[in-house]
Every structure is written in C-alpha cells, then in structure tokens.
C-alpha cells in the first residue's frame, strides 16, 4: 500500500516556473526550483530543451540561484537573473558558445530583464536609493559576502508605502527602469524619484518603453496607477490612468498598449483587460463581456503568488492572458473588438505560459502533481516533463467535488479528500480548511498540507464561500465589508451539508484551519461555535481595529473592511474575532512569520495573550525572518516545521483513528447559523467607473439543467499519472518507474467557451470594496519591490510585464468543443419571482466565454500516516538506476531523506545539434547523472492498414530490432521477468503482444517521447497505457489512455 505524504517531502519536490518559448517555438526555457536540505535554502536553475525532443539542458553551469530566463529576438541568447554574490544581477548566455556575461552590477540588485525588439538592448528593474532621508545606513561594510548592507542605524517613514511584505522595509529605496547594451557596458537609469516602477515593456521600434507606476505627490494615499512612456533621455509622458494597472505590453504593431486593471476604485471588482493608444487617449476594456478576473486566483502551498503573464499574437491582433474560473485557471485570448476565446483549459491551475511560433507552452498543476510543462501544437496537447515521479508511489487523495446551497440560494463549490483505506461504514475526524484572500479560491491544484492531513487519516474539506474568485463579480463582491457575515454562513452550511450527505464525519472530532483571511475566519468561527475540537490559525487577523492601518496595504483594507475606526471603532470591533475571545473554548494553534508585514505577528500575539489570560489552551509558533508567505516560499526547514506543528495539533486533539458508527444512529448536524447574525456594514457610494467600450460577444448559451443532488461515488484506485520516462535529469536523481502518460488530446476537448451568467441572489449581496491583486515577488528576486496592485492579505504577486516577442505567432484555433454534461452553475442562485433588481453598485456584464468544468476523479485507497508501505517488487525505470539510499535531513527530527540534489557538474552548455538520421540513432545509454543520452527524432509511424492481418508470435521468437537497418518498427523493451533488458522489434505498428505474468513491456516510439505504450501487471490484471505517443495506442481498434485488457484483446 502506498505511503502517505509527510511534511519533510518538501525536500523531494521539484517545481517548474517562468516558461519561455524561443521566438520560433522550437525550444523552451524555464526555471527549475527545489528545496536544498543541506543548505536549508531554496535553489533554482535555468533549463533549456527542444520542445519535440526530450533533451533537457542545464543552460548555466554551477549556479544554484539562476532564474527568470528571457530569449533574445533571434533566439541565439538567453538573458537571466543570477545571484552570485550579495544581490541578484542580470546575465546573458550565448547559446552557441556557452559563454555568459554579467550586464548589471547594482549594489541593491536587479531583476526582470526584457529584450528590445531588435535585440541590441535589455531593460531591467533595479533597486536604488531614492529617498536619502528615509534611512540612516550603517557605514561599515557588510558582515558577510551574502549581505547587501548592515542593518541600518534608523529607518524613517513618511509615507504609507515604507514597507512591503516579502520585500521588507524599503529604507528609502525604490525600483526603477534601467537600460543596458546587450553587449555590455554602463547601464542607464531611465526613471527616478520616490516611486516604484511595477511593470514595463519595449515599444516595437525599440526607442521607448512603457512603464506602470505613480510618480504623483501623495501617491501613497491614492490607488491610481499611471502608464507612462519614457525615452532614452528619461522623459516621462503619461498615457493612461487606471486602478492597479499591471503587466503593460506594447503591441508588435506599435499602435496600442494592453494591460490589466480594475474597473474602478472598489473592492472585489474583477481585473480586466484594457487597451489604450500608445500616444494616449481613452482606455477601452476588451473583456467587459467576460465575467472572470484576469489572472490566476487559484492558490496552493506549492508556490508563491504569480504575476499576470500576458503576450500579443505575432500580428498584434490578439492578446493572450490567464483567467480564473470555478476552481481552475485557463488561458484565454481576446481580439481588439472584445471577442474572447478559450485557448487551453481543464480541471487544473495554469499558472504560467508563453505563446510563440504557433506553440503554446504552459506550466500547470493538478490535484496529483505540483506542476509540469505542457505544450499545445496544431490543436494537440502533450506534457513534456515528469518532475516528481516519486509521487506515484505515494498515496495522493483525489478530491470529490460537491455543490452546496446557501440558505439564500447561492450555489457554491467544494471538495472532500478521503484518507487511505477509506471505509464508508466508519466515522472519520474531519479538518475544514478556509482559503485566504478573501478574493482567492481553492481549486484543482496540488496542496501538500491537505495531502499530509488526508494521509494521516483525516477527511479534509475545503470550499469556496462567497467572496471567492472564479465565480463572477457579483459573487466576488459579496463579502466586502461583510467579513464574518454571509461568508461564515456559507462555510458552516456547506459543512452541515457534507456531514449529512456523506454520513462518515465524526462530528465530535472536527477541526478548522486557514491562513490570512482564512486565519481571520478560523478565529471568527471558534468565537461563534463550539463545534470544532481543534483550530489552527495561520498568519491571521484577530483585531480589525488595530490591524486597519498597521499592514502594508492600508488603502486596500480601507476599501475592503470599511471606514476608519476613528472616531467610531464600533463597526470594525463588531467584526473583530478578539471581541468574542471569552466564547473561544477550542484549543488554538497560532502560527506566523516574524517579518509578516501583511497580517502582522502582533495580531497573533493579541489573541494568544488574551486566550492565555483566560486560561484557554493556546500555542503561538513564531518563524524568525519569515514573511506572510512562509508556507510557500519560506526557508525549507521552517516550512517542514510548520507542517509538522499543524499535523501534530490536529492529531493531538482530534486523533486519527476511525470510529464505529452506533447502530441506527445517524450523523448529527448542528443547526445552521441564522443568515442575519451580523449586520453588514453600510456600503459607500460607488465612484464613476472608467469608460468601457461596448463590445459584441457571441450569443449566450442556453442554460443547462441543474444537476441532480450529488451522490458520493465509491472510491476506486486512481492509477498512475503521466510520465516522461527519459528525462531523469530534470529531477536530478534516478526515480521509480513512471506510470503512463496520456496521448495527445485535441485542445477542443479540454475547453468550452461559454460562461454562465451569474444570477443575483434573492437578497443582493452586501456591497464591498477593494480588490486585491495578490502580489508577492519571487523570493529569489530579492530586489523587486512590487508596487502596482494593492494585494489582499492572502497571496502576493510580483507584477512584471512579460515581453511581446517579435516572433510570436498565434496558434491555430481549437475545434468546436463537445457539449458539457449538466452540472451545478457555481455562484448561481435561483431567480425569484419577480426577477430581482441588480445591486446599484454593480452593472452586470453580458455572459461570455468560460471553461466547462468536468466532474471529479474518484479517490484511491492508501495507507495511514504511521503505516509503512507494503513490500512490493521494486519497479524499474526506463534507463534509470535505482534510487540511492537516503541521507538524514538536518534538524531535530529525522525526516524522510531528500534525494540527491542536482549535480553542478552535469552540463551541456553548447546548443543541441540537429537530429541525426534514423539509421545512425544510437542505443540508449547513461551519462554520469543517470539521464538518458540525447537521441535524435525519427519520423512518426504511418497509421496501420485497416485490413492488416493479425499475427501473434511468442516473445522469444521476435526478431532483433530492425531499426538498426533503418526499417520503421516498434521496439519492445522488457523491464522485468525472464526477458528483462532485451530489446526486440515489430515490423508493423499494429501488433498483438503475447503476455506473461512476469513481464512489463515498453513499446518504444522514437518519434515522440521515446516510448509509445506500456503493458504491465497491476493487482493480478493486465493493463495497457499510452505514453504520450504521436498516433495513439489502439486496443481492439479503439484509442485508449489506460485500459485493462483480457485474453484476445
């Protein structure tokens, strides 16, 4: 039985990000990250590979702090960021010679390189002292080589933006745009002053740049952001004004600039796409008919908040952007007339992408994997990487999707994870998790914390209450100035329904936890109900009065929470969890980073002190030096310790054992709280919105029938995930045998382009204000000072403009999607009679395109937290050696040891050569790192003849591999059993393979990933699995991905 995940598995994960295609779409560069156990640090490197050939190449040798790759317009060079001293600097790698050159040398560091369209210059962001009176520096030299400067003598704040979470105290330093020759030389600073540049991009002719920021006086008191153009002499010209402008990108035609921004100065509004003439004028909203926010609102604990990747098509007719729907983030495109089209979707979180040369490359996470690299070419999708194959040997709980109906009719989405060996006749302890934001969302993404808890024996329940992203603007705004109101009702009502619906929850052993806004809600819940036996409040808020002007996003809080607490603090005090501290009887664990500038540690200290003075059970865990983002980008040993503390707290007060259900006794469901428990704060008048252009859209679809009440399916074994058998080098360690990878699928089958219109509830949701583009800089770009959007207390995002590569081209449009089955319309409420009037503060846009969200996969059996995996035959991997014996992890508790870290000696710095002829193709071999040597590409097979006669041969009678004589053939590789390591050939690509119980067979397809399909024994049955082949695998003439086979198939 597979072992569950544990906290220390953080050291085994490999994370992929910052995907960039070469201008011709032939190569892809990305950054690979991991947590190093020995140094207890987060490390990264840049990887380059040919899109159609599994040849990963470490672009830069010997460095473990390289990230942010960007291609030159001709594809011959790669700019990247590397930390080889105290601060990050800009480097350029020549891909032909392998030589690199440092282009920046700013004492405070540099980030975000962007090439000019002619490839002669690079722009980048650099941190410089702009307010000398903002700090009294210590004049002595740094104490160590990795220290930029000593702790200052004094810090002086005169504006609200003197600090930013994840960056720290600004100390009079600001972020500005620099330009430097691509051949090296002195960098020129183009912008200056006591303000910050958020994003930037080059003009098509390379003579100017567009930057976003606010250079006005009293900028810290206003949420407006401006777009400026700046020339090489530093002359600024204002082009447009908006709210929280991010990711400006200049059209390759040079006439317009596109960007993402809010539609007003209110909380909860959607981020939308805008265009403005490059010479200035009135901005036009081109996604007014899409009721989804531009950006990635789905959260997990695998990575920090991401920016908003956007790019133009090569002809400048369309803009590609991400948008979050119900539980998922997809890639869309829109033309200048406002016609939106879904490009890539599905039940997953697409968190980064690029478009070039007719190819879409993207990084995506699903519920089984932290993230892999995918490409879409000619209407078909393929996965290129397999970074975490070891996860296939672990128990990964698969979420069961539920829909819930609030007392006022709103329909909401949620998920339930089940523990290993789930028995529906037993009762289980349950942990309910609440996401932060509040304008974020849970979804179809991998969550380590949830998997650890499920593996221990807990049911893990999470859902998206009103206020969450992904369900339209009305739903999103329904929590503003109503924290602890209807959002709390939604959570408790959904919990009641899952208890009643499943009948497997031990209601005497339930816990609740959450971070940021989720921490606020955890604190609020235990002050209003005693149904929970344990609670974990992470980086939380307990007192809205003291928090109001204390955090780093004061203007956002003013719009989201309500008017200031002076002269009358009563409204905010009513919504402060600490007011109800005398009602809190639930044992509470509080965790927080000591450098959290978003939800200050004083908020946790206040509640902890009050609870202890009242004699209640409480514990406060502080993480030195850590920011609000400790769970996603903190020091690895602190991330591990945080998970251990959370798991131990719930185990201590809930237990992990199952309980017998007494005969004839049904699950007990406490009464739902009344909808009017807390009055909502009075909304303020809505300001005039920014002018929008009226755009036509496709007709709205007919409404789908409401789904039948959800019945939980019996759990089935979830078979292994996709694989990339040959690319062992990416994880830098030999790994167990990968499971099958699905074949290429038409994109049209993964997307649908209709967005259901969000119906208003019977009583309109209380208006709210302020939005929170969640912003946090990559922890390795330590000098980036994000300033553009005011993010929410949950996930912070570094907003950096992504360059519109001159050679980008628009991929072919997908074919028409198949109609989706009827299912709940998330965020929708029944339409009362007569129809309700929309709230005055919201003018609802027309329905527009959005993905169709498929049903949940079934759960899989597994083991309990303390149970060791059952003994089984050690699997083999295609050209992979056995995993080495683990070494102990540093720390007070000996964890599961991490695999060997990536070798700094393995490298191919020269550009990979062209494919060799098929006849000269070498047999697979191993290099020093255990990765398969690079092989060339052979033509794909021709489809088999329809009237081909089947012929069956004994395995030992098959002829030697005929590909050595240049004949097209399938290759059979025996991995175990009496024919192990033997390679034979089949002259026809359609064949019946004789089976033996001790043989796992790989059918090779050199035209794609190197493999075609696998035949293996699982639990006494035979299975055939496609491995991402070009023409697919057929069983009895039908295409399959993973299928059990019988005699004669």
Task: Give φ, ψ of 601 to 5 degrees.
Answer: -60, -20
pLDDT band for 776, please (50, 70, 90 cuts). very low
pLDDT over 60 at 194, yes or no: yes
The pLDDT value given to residue 1008: 41
Query: 868 and 394 in contact (C-beta within 8 Å)?
Result: no
Task: Give φ, ψ of 545 to 5 degrees.
Answer: -70, -50
- For residue 814 the two structure tokens come to 């997908």
pLDDT (tens digit, 9 = 90+) per residue, 423-445?
Answer: 999 999 999 999 999 999 999 99
pLDDT over 80 at 390, yes or no: yes
- Which region holds residue 1028: left if phi is over 0, alpha if psi is between -120 and 50, else beta? left
What whole-number distance in Å separates Cα of residue 1036 and Cα of residue 1049? 6
pLDDT over 80 at 753, yes or no: no
516 is catalytic: yes
Query: 380 and 362 in contact (C-beta within 8 Å)?
Result: no
- Quote the percentage of the chain above a pLDDT of 70: 64
What whole-number distance in Å separates Cα of residue 580 and Cα of residue 557? 22
The mean-pLDDT minimum among 37-51, 234-248, 407-421, 897-911 falls in 897-911
Query: 586 and 431 in contact (C-beta within 8 Å)?
Result: no
Mean pLDDT of the chain: 76
Query: 377 and 358 in contact (C-beta within 8 Å)?
Result: yes
User: Which helix (H) or strand (E) covers residue 642, if one does?
Assistant: helix 636-654
Instruction: Name the nearest CA neighbour of 544 among 529, 530, 531, 563.
Output: 563
What whole-number distance in Å separates Cα of residue 826 and Cα of residue 805? 37
Overall average pLDDT of the 1004-1016 stretch: 54
What whole-number distance in Å separates Cα of residue 125 and Cα of residue 617? 48
pLDDT band for 974, please (50, 70, 90 cuts). low
290 or 147: which carries more pLDDT confidence? 290
The mean-pLDDT minimum among 260-274, 611-625, 680-694 falls in 680-694
Query: 263 and 274 in contact (C-beta within 8 Å)?
Result: no
pLDDT band for 265, please (50, 70, 90 cuts). very high
3-state secondary structure of 13: coil
What whole-number distance in Å separates Cα of residue 275 and Cα of residue 286? 7
Query: 189 and 178 in contact (C-beta within 8 Å)?
Result: yes
HEC sequence for 799-820: CCCCCCCCCCCCCCCCCCCCCC
- Which region holds residue 624: left if phi is over 0, alpha if psi is between -120 and 50, else beta? beta
* 393-465+487-660: in CATH 2.60.40.10: no
The pLDDT value given to residue 1040: 73
pLDDT over 80 at 491, yes or no: yes
HEC sequence for 371-382: EEEEEEECCEEE
Number of neighbours of residue 978 by Cβ within 10 angstroms: 11
Query: 262 and 268 in contact (C-beta within 8 Å)?
Result: no
Task: Give the range with max mean pLDDT: 204-213, 705-714, 728-737, 969-978.
Answer: 204-213
**What does the CA dihedral 231, 236, 239, 240 come to, rounded to 10 degrees?**
140
39 or 671: which carries more pLDDT confidence? 39
pLDDT (tens digit, 9 = 90+) per residue, 152-189?
Answer: 999 999 999 999 999 999 999 999 999 999 999 999 99
Strands 588-593 and 618-623: parallel
What whole-number distance in Å separates Cα of residue 740 and Cα of residue 775? 36
Query: 570 and 181 in contact (C-beta within 8 Å)?
Result: no
Overall average pLDDT of the 750-779 stretch: 36
Q: Which residues of 44-55 are buried (b: 16+ CB within 10 A; e: fewer)?
A: bbbbbbbbbbbb
Q: CA geometry: angle at 205 spanning 204 and 209, to 5°? A: 70
Decide if 393-465+487-660 and 938-1045 have a common fold.
Answer: no
Long-range Cβ pairs for the range 97-104 (8 Å, 24+)? 97/910, 98/909, 98/910, 100/60, 101/184, 103/79, 103/180, 103/182, 103/184, 103/187, 104/178, 104/180, 104/187
For tokens 């005169």, name the residue.
158
The pLDDT value given to residue 876: 30
Q: Which of 72, 203, 516, 633 is catalytic?
A: 516
What whole-number distance in Å separates Cα of residue 991 and Cα of residue 997? 19
Instruction: Name the nearest CA neighbour of 302 among 430, 443, 168, 434.
Output: 443
E strands, 495-587, in order: 505-515, 534-538
pLDDT (tens digit, 9 = 90+) per residue, 49-86?
Answer: 999 876 677 666 566 899 999 999 999 999 999 999 89
- Burial, 661: exposed, middle or buried (Cβ in 10 Å; 0-12, 13-18, 19+)? middle
Task: Provide the whole-model pTM.
Answer: 0.70
628 is catalytic: yes
Instruction: Name the nearest CA neighbour of 355 among 336, 338, 368, 374.
Output: 374
Cis peptide before 438 (omega within 30 of 0): yes
HEC sequence for 867-927: CCCCCCCCCCECCECCCCCCCCCCCCCCCCCCCCCCCCCCCCCCCCCCCCCHHHCCCCCEC
- For residue 795 the two structure tokens come to 């996930």
What whole-number distance in Å separates Cα of residue 724 and Cα of residue 593? 38
330, 817, 870 from 294: Cα distances, Å: 10, 22, 46
What whole-number distance in Å separates Cα of residue 561 and Cα of residue 577? 14
- Which region holds residue 1002: left if phi is over 0, alpha if psi is between -120 and 50, else beta? beta
The pLDDT value given to residue 1038: 74
Task: Give φ, ψ of 613 to 5 degrees.
Answer: -65, -25
pLDDT band for 512, please (50, 70, 90 cuts). very high
Number of neighbours of residue 125 by Cβ within 10 angstroms: 29
Of all residues in the chain, what percent are helix, strand and coil, respectively (each to 5)?
A: 15, 30, 60
Query: 592 and 608 in contact (C-beta within 8 Å)?
Result: no
- CA-atom Rg of the chain in angstroms: 28
| Residues pairing with 189 in the sheet | 178
The pLDDT value given to residue 497: 98
Overall average pLDDT of the 899-921 stretch: 29
pLDDT band for 1006, please (50, 70, 90 cuts). very low
Task: Delimit the domains of the chain by residue range.
Answer: 393-465+487-660, 938-1045
Query: 773 and 271 in contact (C-beta within 8 Å)?
Result: yes
3-state secondary structure of 639: helix
What whole-number distance in Å separates Cα of residue 787 and Cα of residue 774? 11
pLDDT (tens digit, 9 = 90+) per residue, 740-749?
Answer: 333 333 333 3
pLDDT band for 897, please (50, 70, 90 cuts). very low
The pLDDT value given to residue 824: 56
Q: Which of 18, 176, 628, 1011 is catalytic?
A: 628
Task: Give the range with max mean pLDDT: 726-735, 808-817, 869-878, 1008-1017.
Answer: 1008-1017
- Burial, 815: exposed, middle or buried (Cβ in 10 Å; 0-12, 13-18, 19+)? exposed
The pLDDT value given to residue 1016: 67
pLDDT (tens digit, 9 = 90+) per residue, 26-35?
Answer: 999 999 999 9
For tokens 């929170």, name the residue.
772
Q: Residue 954 half-sphere exposure, CB side, CA atoms within 13 Å?
A: 3
- For residue 663 the two structure tokens come to 């005969």
Select from 1.10.20, 2.60.200, 1.20.1270, 3.20.20 the CATH code of 938-1045: 2.60.200
- Which region holds residue 421: left if phi is over 0, alpha if psi is between -120 and 50, else beta? left
């Amino acid at each position: 039985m597979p072992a569950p995940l544990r906290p220390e598995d953080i050291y085994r994960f490999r994370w992929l990000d910052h995907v960039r295609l070469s201008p011709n779409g032939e190569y892809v560069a990305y950054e690979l990250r991991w947590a190093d156990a020995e140094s207890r640090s987060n490390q990264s490197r840049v990887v380059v590979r040919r899109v159609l050939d599994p040849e990963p190449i470490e672009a830069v040798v010997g460095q473990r702090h390289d990230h942010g790759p960007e291609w030159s317009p001709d594809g011959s060079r790669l700019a990247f960021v590397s930390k080889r001293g105290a601060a990050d600097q800009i480097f350029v790698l020549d891909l032909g010679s392998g030589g690199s050159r440092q282009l920046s040398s700013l004492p405070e560091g540099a980030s975000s390189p962007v090439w000019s369209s002619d490839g002669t210059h690079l722009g980048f962001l650099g941190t410089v002292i702009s307010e000398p009176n903002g700090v009294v520096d210590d004049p002595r030299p740094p104490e160590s080589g990795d220290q930029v400067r000593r702790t200052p003598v004094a810090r002086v704040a005169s504006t609200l933006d003197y600090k930013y979470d994840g960056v720290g105290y600004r100390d009079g330093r600001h972020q500005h745009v620099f330009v430097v020759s691509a051949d090296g030389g002195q960098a020129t600073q183009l912008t200056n002053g006591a303000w910050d540049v958020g994003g930037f991009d080059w003009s098509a002719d390379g003579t100017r740049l567009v930057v976003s920021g606010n250079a006005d006086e009293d900028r810290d008191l206003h949420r407006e952001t401006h777009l400026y153009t700046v020339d090489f002499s530093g002359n600024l010209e204002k082009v447009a004004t908006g709210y929280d402008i991010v990711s400006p990108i200049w059209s390759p035609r040079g006439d317009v600039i596109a960007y993402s921004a809010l539609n007003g100065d209110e909380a909860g509004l959607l981020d939308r796409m805008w265009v403005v003439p490059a010479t200035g004028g009135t901005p036009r909203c081109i996604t007014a008919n899409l009721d989804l926010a531009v950006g990635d609102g789905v959260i997990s604990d695998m990575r920090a908040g991401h920016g908003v990747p956007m790019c133009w098509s090569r002809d400048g007719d369309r803009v590609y952007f991400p948008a979050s729907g119900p539980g998922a983030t997809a890639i869309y495109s829109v033309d200048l007339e406002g016609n939106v089209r879904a490009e890539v979707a599905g039940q997953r979180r697409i968190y980064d992408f690029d478009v070039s040369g007719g190819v879409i490359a993207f990084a995506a996470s699903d519920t089984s994997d932290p993230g892999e690299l995918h490409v879409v070419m000619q209407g078909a999708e393929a996965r290129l990487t397999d970074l975490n194959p070891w996860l296939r040997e672990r128990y990964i709980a698969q979420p069961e999707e539920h829909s819930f109906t609030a007392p006022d009719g709103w329909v909401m989405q949620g998920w339930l994870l089940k523990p290993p060996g789930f028995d529906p006749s037993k009762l289980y302890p349950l942990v309910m998790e609440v996401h932060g934001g509040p304008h974020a969302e849970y979804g179809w993404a991998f969550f380590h914390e949830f998997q650890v808890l499920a593996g221990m024996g807990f049911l893990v329940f999470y859902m998206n209450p009103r206020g969450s992203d992904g369900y339209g603007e009305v739903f999103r705004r329904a929590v503003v100035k109503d924290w602890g109101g209807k959002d709390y009702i939604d959570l408790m009502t959904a919990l009641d329904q899952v208890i009643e619906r499943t009948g497997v929850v031990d209601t005497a052993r339930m816990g609740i936890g959450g971070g940021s806004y989720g921490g606020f809600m955890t604190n609020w819940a235990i002050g209003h109900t005693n149904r929970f036996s344990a609670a974990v409040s992470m980086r939380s808020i307990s007192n809205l009065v003291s928090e109001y002007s204390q955090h780093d996003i004061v203007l956002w809080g003013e719009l989201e929470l309500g008017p200031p607490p002076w002269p009358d603090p009563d409204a905010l005090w009513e919504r402060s969890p600490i007011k109800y501290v005398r009602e809190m009887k639930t044992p509470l664990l509080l965790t927080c980073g000591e450098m959290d500038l978003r939800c200050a540690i004083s908020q946790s200290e206040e509640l902890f002190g009050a609870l202890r003075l009242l004699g209640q059970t409480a514990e406060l865990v502080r993480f030195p030096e850590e920011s609000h983002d400790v769970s996603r980008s903190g020091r690895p040993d602190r991330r591990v310790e945080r998970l251990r503390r959370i798991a131990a707290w719930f185990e201590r007060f809930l237990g992990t054992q199952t309980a017998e259900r007494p005969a004839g006794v049904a699950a007990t469901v406490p009464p739902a709280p009344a909808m009017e428990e807390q009055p909502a704060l009075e909304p303020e008048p809505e300001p005039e919105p920014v002018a929008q252009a009226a755009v036509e859209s496709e007709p709205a679809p007919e409404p789908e029938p409401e789904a039948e009440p959800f019945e939980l399916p019996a759990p089935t074994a979830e078979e292994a995930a996709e694989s990339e058998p040959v690319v062992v080098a990416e994880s830098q360690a030999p790994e167990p045998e990968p499971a099958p990878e699905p074949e290429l699928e038409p994109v049209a089958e993964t997307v649908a382009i209709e967005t259901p219109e969000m119906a208003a509830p019977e009583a309109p949701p209380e208006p709210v204000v302020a939005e929170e583009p969640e912003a946090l800089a990559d922890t390795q770009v330590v000098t980036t000072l994000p300033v553009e959007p005011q993010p929410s207390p949950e996930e912070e995002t570094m907003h950096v403009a992504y360059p519109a590569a001159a050679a980008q081209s628009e991929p072919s449009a997908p074919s028409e999607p198949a109609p989706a089955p009827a299912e709940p319309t998330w965020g929708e409420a029944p339409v009362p009679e007569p129809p309700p009037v929309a709230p005055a503060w919201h003018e609802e846009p027309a329905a527009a395109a959005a993905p169709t969200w498929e049903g949940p996969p079934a759960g899989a059996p597994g083991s309990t937290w303390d149970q060791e995996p059952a003994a089984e035959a050690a699997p083999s991997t295609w050209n992979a050696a056995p995993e080495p014996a683990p070494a102990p992890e540093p720390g007070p508790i000996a964890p599961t040891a991490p695999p060997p870290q990536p070798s700094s000696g393995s490298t191919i710095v020269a550009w990979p050569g062209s494919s060799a002829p098929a006849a000269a193709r070498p047999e697979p071999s191993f290099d020093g790192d255990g990765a398969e040597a690079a092989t060339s590409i052979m033509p794909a097979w021709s489809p088999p003849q329809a009237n081909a006669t089947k012929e069956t041969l004994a395995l030992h009678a098959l002829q030697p591999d005929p590909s050595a004589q240049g004949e097209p053939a399938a290759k059979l590789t025996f991995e175990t059993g009496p024919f192990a390591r033997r390679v034979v050939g089949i002259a026809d690509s359609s064949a019946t393979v004789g089976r033996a119980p001790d043989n796992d067979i790989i059918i090779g397809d050199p035209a794609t990933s190197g493999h075609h399909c696998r035949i293996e024994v699982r639990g006494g049955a035979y299975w055939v699995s496609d491995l991402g082949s070009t023409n697919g695998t057929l069983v009895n003439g039908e295409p399959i991905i993973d299928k059990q086979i019988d005699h004669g198939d």
